[in-house]
């Protein structure tokens, strides 16, 4: 009845001259090409529900708030010479009107991110990212979309802390402008050209909420990503609606509104669970997915080994799984004495028992390369102190290590052991890790790694080899 009454209200507004609009939105899909364990999600389910939602109204548009890449084997596929290119093809077939860049669009390299922007059959928008020469990194800073007699201005924003979220070399040539500065530079122009102003952001919910308090009523909506939160009911901060659909294509966000005289006069938002499409549902997208995934799935379905225990995922606690990975990395590269890995790079819970290559790809999805560095024993104490504080304050994920006593020992080198011997203050140790930790040494290590070099070996390949060798 509530929904029916709302519909009557919308109809009455329409009769008075207000224009109805439906904005469909997703965020943080992370290459979730198939349903999750709960049977919800996947690209085909998204297409089906998008089509249903579009068919119910005259005016609609579809926006995505970033992080399409990284998270499953689908993002590691090469399509027409571009890793993750198949994801762009999918969202093109879904009729995406615009997206913003998430941090995971920068996981591979700067050049790869530029190729994603250049290749995508839809515009990536970003008003706060600029090339070294001052040009827009996204295809555009903003876009004006027309639906009926409405003009909708969409401004893209990408997370300011991007250098802390990806390998620093991937974004070192970027100029990143603060959110408020970027929006205010464009707002007068975009507001004059449109009836509705939408910020399409990959900032995180807290940053979006703070930004809303700093803006005025020329901004109507913020559609955000990064925090992976689902907002089922309309949420308003300083008169600005904030929307987010969750993550991994569990939901499609549906925002219905009436716009009159540059104002939203009626608003309703809900989330539609992306249940499976009917068994007889057919589309070109389905054919594309079957072709592109089939061969890869067959190869990755091979069993790599058997896990003796579940590999739990926890960014802020050393688990049996993260400890095994740290030890396995050292076993793969015995020329080192110590290993460090970051728990945030382990992404999928793996139950005990048979584990496939596909499972391992999704457990370690980032494409990091094995890297080495040197440090003194006293540096280890600095890293341990930072790690334990990160576990408490949770600004970043923690590290797991092959060092005995890393988890529980007091902050004293005499309680930390390498090859059964206490760590010596001035002795130089060789460490095996990966490129991400070295690039983010200030938040993980607290000291500058010495004599660092990248082997070029894939971290994932090293772990796969150890799974095959140790866990047959």
Looking at residue 234, its pLDDT comes to: 85
Distance CA 89, CA 288 (A): 9
Residue 319 pLDDT exceeds 90: yes
More confident residue, 120 or 453: 120
Looking at residue 7, its pLDDT comes to: 43
Structure pTM?
0.78
Residue 456 pLDDT exceeds 80: no
pLDDT tens digits for range 192-228: 999 999 999 999 999 999 999 999 999 999 999 999 9
Distance CA 140, CA 213 (A): 25
The whole-number average pLDDT for the span 336-363 is 94
Closest residue by Cα to residue 68 from 286, 198, 178, 226? 226
The whole-number average pLDDT for the span 295-310 is 86
Q: What's the mean per-residue pLDDT of the chain? A: 92
Q: How confident is the model at residue 300 (pLDDT cuts 50, 70, 90)?
A: confident
pLDDT tens digits for range 359-403: 999 999 888 889 999 999 999 999 999 999 999 999 999 999 999
Looking at residue 11, its pLDDT comes to: 42
| Three state DSSP letters for the chain | CHHHHHHHHHHHHHHCCCEEEEEEEECCCCCCCCCCCCCCCCHHHHHHHHHHHHHCCCCEEEEECCCCCCCCHHHHCEECCEECHHHHHHHHHCCCCEEECCHHHHCCCHHHHHHHHHHCCCCEECCCEECCCCCECCCECEEEEEECCEEEEEEEEECCCHHHHCCHHHCCCCEECCHHHHHHHHHHHHHHHCCEEEEEEECCHHHHHHHHHHCCCCCCEEEECCCCCECCCCEEECCEEEECECCCCCEEEEEEEEEECCEEEEEEEEEEECCCCCCCCCCHHHHHHHHHHHHHHHHHCCEEEEECCCECCCCCCCCHHHHHHHHHHHHHCCCCCEEEEEHHHCCCCECCEEEEHHHHHHHCCCCCEEEEEEEEHHHHHHHHHHHHHHHHHCCCCCEEECCECCCCCCCCHHHCEECCEECCCCCEEEEEEEHHHHHCHHHHCCCCCEEEEEEEEEHHHHHHHHHHHHCC
More confident residue, 132 or 254: 254
Residue 421 pLDDT exceeds 50: yes
Looking at residue 431, its pLDDT comes to: 97
Q: Which of 48-52, 301-305, 456-460 is predicted with the least confidence, judged by mean pLDDT?
A: 456-460
Tokens of 251: 């939901």
pLDDT tens digits for range 2-40: 333 334 344 444 445 799 999 999 999 999 999 987 999
Residue 299 pLDDT exceeds 80: no
More confident residue, 448 or 293: 448
Looking at residue 169, its pLDDT comes to: 83
Percent of the chain residues topping a pLDDT of 90:
80
Q: Which domains does the chain have, with CATH numbers?
A: 18-294 (3.60.21.10), 303-470 (3.90.780.10)
């Amino acid at each position: 009845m509530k929904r029916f009454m709302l519909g009557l209200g919308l109809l009455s507004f329409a009769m008075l001259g207000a224009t109805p609009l439906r904005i469909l939105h997703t965020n943080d899909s992370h290459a979730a090409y198939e349903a999750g364990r709960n049977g919800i999600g996947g690209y085909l389910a998204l297409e089906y529900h998008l089509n249903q939602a579009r068919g119910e109204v005259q005016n609609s548009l579809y926006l995505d708030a970033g992080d399409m890449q990284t998270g499953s084997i689908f993002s590691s596929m090469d399509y027409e010479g571009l890793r993750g290119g198949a994801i762009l093809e999918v969202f093109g077939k879904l009729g995406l009107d615009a997206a913003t860049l998430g941090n995971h669009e920068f996981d591979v390299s700067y050049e790869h991110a530029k190729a994603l922007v250049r290749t995508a059959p839809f515009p990536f928008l970003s008003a706060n990212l600029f090339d070294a020469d001052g040009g827009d990194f996204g295809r555009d800073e903003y876009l004006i979309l027309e639906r009926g007699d409405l003009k909708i201005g969409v401004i893209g924003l990408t997370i300011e802390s991007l250098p802390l979220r990806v390998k620093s070399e991937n974004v070192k040539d970027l100029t990143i402008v603060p959110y408020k500065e970027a929006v205010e530079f464009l707002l007068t122009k975009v507001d004059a050209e449109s009836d509705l102003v939408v910020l399409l952001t990959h900032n995180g919910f807290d940053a979006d909420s703070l930004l809303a308090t700093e803006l005025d009523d020329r901004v109507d909506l913020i559609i955000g990503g990064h925090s992976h939160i689902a907002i089922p009911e309309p949420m308003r901060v300083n008169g600005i609606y904030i929307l987010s659909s969750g993550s991994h294509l569990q939901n499609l966000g549906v925002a219905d509104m009436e716009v009159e005289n540059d104002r939203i006069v009626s608003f309703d938002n809900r989330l539609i669970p992306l249940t499976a499409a009917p068994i007889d549902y057919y589309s070109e997208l389905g054919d594309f997915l079957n072709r592109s995934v089939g061969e890869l799935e067959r190869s990755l379905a091979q069993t790599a080994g058997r896990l003796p225990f579940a590999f739990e995922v926890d960014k802020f606690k050393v688990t049996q799984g993260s400890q095994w990975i740290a030890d396995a990395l050292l076993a793969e590269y015995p020329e080192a004495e110590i290993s460090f890995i970051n728990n945030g790079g382990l992404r999928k819970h793996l139950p005990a028992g048979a584990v496939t290559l596909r499972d391992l790809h999704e457990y370690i999805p980032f494409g990091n390369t094995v890297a080495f560095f040197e440090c003194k024993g006293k540096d280890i104490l600095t890293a341990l102190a930072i790690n334990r504080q990160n576990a408490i304050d949770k600004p970043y994920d923690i590290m797991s290590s092959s060092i005995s006593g890393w988890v529980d020992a007091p902050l004293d080198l005499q309680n930390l052991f390498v090859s059964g011997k206490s760590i010596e203050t001035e002795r130089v140790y060789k460490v095996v890790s990966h490129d991400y930790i070295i690039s983010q040494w200030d938040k993980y290590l607290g000291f500058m790694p010495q004599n660092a070099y990248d082997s070029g070996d894939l971290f994932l390949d090293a772990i796969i080899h150890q799974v095959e060798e140790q866990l047959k």
